Structure 1
Amino acid sequence: MKSAEELRELSVEELEKEAEGLRQELFNLKFQHATHQLENVMRIRHVRRQIARVLTIINEKRSGQK
């Protein structure tokens, strides 16, 4: 999992790819949780928060460009 500092160094396109990958991971985690295959349920929370971090940085970069 990348830190906020590492994420800020990425371009908007790279951040969007990162967000898409995290969304896919979240989908898989939710599916595993529903089928009782997920060992670490806290992973869902961590991925959700990482998605929020990425989207926040994307919005900061876009608003800074205007």
Structure 2
Amino acid sequence: MKIVLDRPRCEGHGLCEDVAPQLMHLDEDGELVLDIETVDNDVEPAKAAVRVCPVAALRLA
């Protein structure tokens, strides 16, 4: 399973980083960086990140 980021939609709220810091982080410019795009072992943090995004910029494929 893969995390897909719709970069133009992302507003840098950081809620996804709060629930899945092992998968993503905001850089010094407030841009979301996916540290791990493919999540096969532990899907729950990825699902949580998708769920908390207020602008639906993340999805699982």
The higher radius of gyration belongs to 1
Compare the two structures and name the one with the higher helix fraction: 1
| TM-score between both structures, scaled by the size of structure 2 | 0.32
| TM-score between both structures, scaled by the size of structure 1 | 0.30
Compare the two structures and name the one with the higher strand fraction: 2
